[in-house]
Chains A and B, each alone.
Chain A
Amino acid sequence: MTGERVLMVEITRLEAAHLAGLITQFADLLDDTASAGDDPAIARLVPDAYIDDADSAREFRALTERDLLARRRSDAAMVLTTLRDPAEITDDPQDPGLLETVEIALDRDGVQAWLRTLAAVRLVLADRLGIDTAEDHDDEDPRFGIYDWLGYRLHGLISAIDDHA
C-alpha cells in the first residue's frame, strides 16, 4: 500500500484571491455558453478533430463536446474548492494578511484539475488578447501580466510534479 501523494502549493492570500476570481469568471463563462459555437474562446477548448472531413468533425463534436465542457466545469469547481480558504481575505487593501503565504495540499486529482484549468484559462485569455503567435505580447497591457503569471504558476506546478516523480 502506498499513500496518496500530496503536492503542496505555496501561495499568498492575495494571489489565491486573484486566482479564484479568474477561475470563477472562467466557470461563469462555461455556464453561460450553451454551445462552443457561441464563443471563440470556448470553441478553442473543443476544436475540430478532423481537418478535411466536416461530417466526421461534426459527429465527433456531437459525441464529445458536452463531456469535455462538463469536465472543464468540474475541474474548475475542484480548483475553486481548494482555493476557498486560502482566498479568504478582508476588504482592507492594507491588511498584512494579504501577503501571508498559505499552503494548499493537492492530491493527484487536484493536481490534474489545477493543471488543466490553468492551461484552459490561459487559452481563454489568449483568445481575448488576440495572441496568434508566441511573440504577441503587450507589456503595457496588465492582462498580459495575468497571462504570464498563470504560465509561471502552471510551469511551477509541472516542475514540482517532476521533482516528485
Chain B
Amino acid sequence: MPLDLLNVSTQVRQMGELLAVRRGDQSRRLELLNAMLAAYTDRWQDLADLAEQVKERVAVPTGPLDERLPAPDALKTYTALATDGAEIDPDRHGGSGDFFLINVGRVRIPYGQPHREVELRSVSSLGFTEEDLFIVDPRDPRRQVPMRDRHLDALRTVEEVKALADLAESESATGAGPAVALVDGTLLFSVLEERPRDFLRTRFYSDYVAQLERMRAARVPVAAYASRSRGVDLVNLFRAVCGGTPLACDVCAGAHACALRGLTDAHILGRDLRQWQRTGVFRVRSNVHDPFFGVHRAYFFLLHTGEEIARVEVPEWVARDFTMLSNVHSVLVDQIGKGFGYPAVLARADDRAVISLSDRTVLDTLVRQELARRGVLARPSAKLHRKQVRTV
C-alpha cells in the first residue's frame, strides 16, 4: 500500500480543524460585508457602471441585488433536452496509435406527452486523422497545436453543444410545446492560449457560438447548470469596489486580509434565498468571451435547490426574453425535483456520456486487434509496460 495512511490521517485531522475555523471566519466576514451590500442593494446601476470599467471578469447587475423571484407555475407539458460528454485523451504511452475519443450522451425527454418517444443515446466519435489530432493556424500552417488535455476538453464542449443544437432543431421542427436545452457546467468555457490573439480561441469559440445561434434560431432556450456554484463574478465586482486593499478598506478596517477572500457569489447572494427562488439576472463581463459571443453573451442567476445554490447561465437572448427565462426557471425546478437535487435530464445525459474502465478496455482491444490485423505492432512505452507488468 503506497499511501502512508498514518501520516495522512494526522494531516486530515489538521485540515478538519482548519476548515472549521475557516467556516466560522467566513460567517464573521459576511457580517462585515453586510453594510457594504446594504449600501449597494439599490445602487445597482452605480455598480453596473463601475463593472464596465473593470479589467477582470465581473458580474454586471441588471437589477437590485436583493431581487428574489419565486418559481413560476409548473409547465404541464414540456420537453427537456440535454447533452453531456466525456473523452479519452490520446495515450502517449499506450502505443496503439494516436487517437482520441469523444462520447456525447444526448437525451430528449418529453414530459406530459405520452405519444412521444424518449431518446437516450450515446454518440461516440474517434479522432485519428491529422486534421483531428492537430489544430492548425489557418494563417500559418506551420503552427500546430496537438488536440489533447484542455484543448480536447474545449472540443468536447463544442461537440456537446452541437449535439444539443441538433436536438433543439429537431424539437423545434416537431412544433411540440415549450422545450429547454441544458448542458452541465458553464457557457463560459476556457481555452488556453499560448500567446495573445492566438487562433485557438477563434477556432473553439466561433464553433461554439455558431451552435448557440442555431438554438436561438430554433427558439429553444439553452442554459448551463452548475451544481453548488463556486462562481465569484460578483465577488470580483465587490473587490473592484473596495479596491482589494484591506488596510485602506472601510469594511476590512485594517484587517490582515480582505473580507471577500474565499467567498463566492452564492455566499453573498444566496443567504436569504429560499427554496426554488432565483436571484435577479447578472451579466458576466468577460474580456475573453465577449468579443466572440456577441448576442450570446452570458448572463447568470443563482437558484436555491433546497440542498444548495446552483448557478444557471443563459445567453443574452434568453436572459432578455421573459417567457424563455421563466421556462428555464420552471423547468429547472421540476427537473431538480425529479432528479433529487440535480436535473434529471442532465443526469441521464451524464449516464450516457460516461466512459467506464471496461469501455476503455474494449476500445483498446479493438484498436490493438485492428492494428495487429494490419501487421502494425502496438507496443506500450517502457514506462507503461513497467506499470502493467510489475516486477520485484
Q: Do A and B come together as binding partners?
A: no
Interface residues in chain A, defined as those with a beta carbon under 8 Å from any beta carbon in chain B: none
Interface residues of B (CB under 8 A from A): none
